[in-house]
Amino acid sequence: MSDVITADGNLVIRRIRDQPDDYERMVAWRNSPHVREWWDPDDPPLTLAGAIDELGLRATTDDPTTSCFIEIDGEPVGFIQFYPWDAEEEYLATIGVSVPSGSWGLDIFIGASGLIGQGIGARAVRVLCDHLFAEEAATAVALITEAGNARAQAAYARAGMHVSGAPFEDTDLRDGQRVESVLMIHDRPAGTADGR
Ligand SMILES: CC(C)(COP(=O)(O)OP(=O)(O)OC[C@H]1O[C@@H](n2cnc3c(N)ncnc32)[C@H](O)[C@@H]1OP(=O)(O)O)[C@@H](O)C(=O)NCCC(=O)NCCS
């Protein structure tokens, strides 16, 4: 079975493999300063055992989150995960946010610091949204990002998303404080074919 979820030209989104190379890459990326700045900043550095625990379980059980690498010309350059928001009701209630029923969520980072700001993030989000609309019948794609993460918001806007509603406090912590965050949504394009 192919582990490719979707692709556009030289950009491929493929499942993370239950293999040492992928876990080791994930650990190196997650512990690099440009990612830690915005991704679980209060958490201790990710260990190899932690990565295997988090990602290996997802790969081998029916966890609703699919964890992937973004590849450019066959080289992994970043991480992207996606999940049905319908599986996250408790979290949404905690943060006081509602999303359309049947919508999907995603999270992303570019792992190689030298590749930040080159359009890969916007492109990967757009490609994954297209996939979720076509193959998962997503009613919308919605994500949460820190209110202060201007670069991420610009990338998501470039991918067709817009800020929805007022800022709120996420459960993620920065210096012990819940981070002020915003919801961004990509509405389902009119007339999108449902490939399921
Ligand atoms: C957020 C992230 C995934 C975006 O991917 P990317 O490939 O760097 O983004 P892109 O190059 O596609 O787009 C970046 C946009 O931000 C803009 N930008 C760059 N630096 C910026 C800054 N300091 N402030 C505001 N906008 C900025 C760019 O001009 C571009 O917008 P444009 O296309 O309208 O010109 C990536 O930067 C990243 O991994 N950052 C670290 C981890 C992180 O923040 N993850 C997201 C958590 S929600």
Q: Residue 128 CA to chain centroid, in angstroms?
A: 10
Residue 141 Cα to ligand 1 midpoint, Å, equals 18
The vertex-70 CA angle with 67 and 71, nearest 5°, equals: 140
The answer on pLDDT for 194 being more than 80 is no
Alpha-carbon span 101 to 177, nearest angstrom: 30
User: In angstroms, what is the span from residue 152 Cα to ligand 1's centroid?
Assistant: 4
Ligand 1, atom 26: closest residue by C-alpha: 151
Ligand 1 pocket by Cβ (under 6 Å): 34-35, 38-39, 108-110, 116-122, 145, 149-152, 154-155, 158
Q: How far is the CA of 189 from the centre of ligand 1 (A)?
A: 23
Do 149 and 38 meet the contact criterion of CB atoms below 8 Å apart? yes
Dihedral over Cα of 92, 97, 101, 106: its sign: negative
Percent of the chain with pLDDT over 70: 96
Structure confidence at residue 59 (pLDDT): 66
Mean confidence (pLDDT) of the chain: 95
Q: Can you give the pLDDT at residue 195?
A: 54
Which residue, judged by its Cα, is nearest atom 4 of ligand 1? 121
- Distance between the two ends of the chain, CA-based, in angstroms? 18
Tell me which residue of 170, 142, 168 sits closest to 156, measured CA to CA.
142
Poorest-pLDDT segment among 4-18, 57-71, 146-160: 57-71
Stretch 114-138: mean pLDDT: 98
Evaluate if pTM is beyond 0.85.
yes
Q: What is the pLDDT at residue 62?
A: 78
CA distance 40 to 173: 7
Radius of gyration of the chain (CA): 16
Over residues 22-49, the mean pLDDT reads 97
Name 50's Cβ contacts closer than 8 Å, sequence gap at least 6: 27
Q: Which domains does the chain have, with CATH numbers?
A: 4-187 (3.40.630.30)
Which atom of ligand 1 is the closest one to the Cα of 118? Answer: 11
Q: Beta strand pairing status for 75-84 and 177-187?
A: unpaired
